[in-house]
Amino acid sequence: MPSDADLRPWALVTGSARRLGASMAIDLAKRGWNLWIHFRNSEQEAQALASRIEALGRRARTVRADLSVSGGVESLVAAVALLPPALVVHSASMWTEDTFDTAGAESWERSHRLHVWSALVLARSLAQWSLGASTEGHLVTVVDARSRDRDPRHFSYAFAKRELALLTRYLAVELAPGVRVNGLAPGPILKAEGVSSVAWNKVGREATPLGRTGKPGDLIRALRYLVDNRFVTGQILAIDGGRHLLGDLFGSI
Ligand SMILES: NC(=O)c1ccc[n+]([C@@H]2O[C@H](COP(=O)([O-])OP(=O)(O)OC[C@H]3O[C@@H](n4cnc5c(N)ncnc54)[C@H](OP(=O)(O)O)[C@@H]3O)[C@@H](O)[C@H]2O)c1
């Protein structure tokens, strides 16, 4: 006789051992999902999160994959196909520093494999997994408020996130009616390692019309909305204190 947890649908959150990915994963677990926790380096954190999720009465599995290398996302989808997710949140990301002058072929390719190619392969897999499944498929990409703008200090990253935003809208058309595809575009929510608190507060004050940084809960509430509202596809929600409204101004920040 299957238990309640066995009957619940599975979600995969890429890059979910730590930080915003972990916050989204734990909230999904609280809302009834079993979780695939994907990580690259943070194995201990992934296992600790899996234990927290199991303590909530859900199932959790961890899976390692480097999504920036050839075959990385393919190995991830092969692993999770054992318990295919109906919801995939593609949050894994590398905030690599490079510029127009310094971006090299390797960093360009790694960023595109991680952010863009991985999203495409995950979308194709969701389309297959959702055939005949009882829970509707849904891909949520995590882009960046800056995907509507330029970021000269993270050139490869910004370009790949911009392409991911475009891909999100393409995929919404390609995958309808079986799978919904939406995006989250966070602004400054969680300080990157190595950024000083002074610089972080300055970003909040000066780089958002609302004059402050956000909180993980702001992103979580947006994800809940996308998951719950089954008439929404092809949307990219900015959770950024209005930062996206300010356009090219941000190129200099
Ligand atoms: N933090 C913010 O305020 C903010 C602002 C704008 C946009 N975003 C977007 O929101 C999402 C979550 O943000 P975050 O700050 O929590 O992200 P993050 O800490 O920069 O990265 C999340 C995870 O991505 C995984 N990752 C990195 N390179 C990988 C690779 N090559 N293959 C597989 N996984 C890899 C890492 O896993 P391991 O630790 O296991 O190696 C990392 O923990 C990201 O997509 C980010 O671009 C965040």
pTM to 2 decimal places: 0.97
Q: Which pLDDT belongs to residue 247? A: 67
Alpha carbon nearest to ligand 1 atom 18, residue: 93
Single-letter residue type at 199: A
In eight-state DSSP terms, residue 191 is: P
Ligand 1 centroid – CA 4 distance (Å): 32
Looking at residue 244, what is its pLDDT?
85
Ligand 1 pocket, residue 190 CB under 6 Å? yes
Decide if 74 contacts 67 (C-beta within 8 A): no
Query: How close is the Cα of 2 to the center of ligand 1, in Å?
Result: 35
* Residue 252 pLDDT: 44
For residue 100, the Cα-to-chain-centroid distance in whole angstroms is 25
Question: In testing the pocket of ligand 1, which one of 16, 20, 39, 80 has its CB within 8 Å of the most ligand atoms?
Answer: 20
Cβ pair 37, 11 in contact under 8 A: no
Q: Is 179 in the pocket of ligand 1 (CB under 6 A)?
A: no
The finding on whether 40 has its CB within 6 A of some atom of ligand 1 is yes
**Residue 50 has what pLDDT?**
98
pLDDT in tens, the chain (253 residues): 778 788 899 999 999 999 999 999 999 999 999 999 999 999 999 999 999 999 999 999 999 999 999 999 999 999 999 999 999 999 999 999 999 999 999 999 999 999 999 999 999 999 999 998 888 999 999 999 877 777 888 999 999 999 999 999 999 999 999 999 999 999 999 998 888 888 888 888 888 899 999 999 999 999 999 999 999 999 999 999 998 888 654 544 4
> For residue 173, what are its two tokens?
């058309």
Domains in the chain, start-ordered, CATH in brackets?
4-252 (3.40.50.720)
Residue 248 has what pLDDT?
A: 55
Structural contact between residues 252 and 151, judged by C-beta atoms closer than 8 angstroms: no
- Cα separation of 75 and 86, whole Å? 18
Residue 66 CB–ligand 1 contact under 6 Å: yes
Q: How far is the CA of 14 from the centre of ligand 1 (A)?
A: 9
Q: Comparing C-alpha atoms, which of 100, 96, 127 is closest to residue 113?
A: 96
Q: Is 39 near ligand 1, meaning CB less than 6 Å away?
A: yes
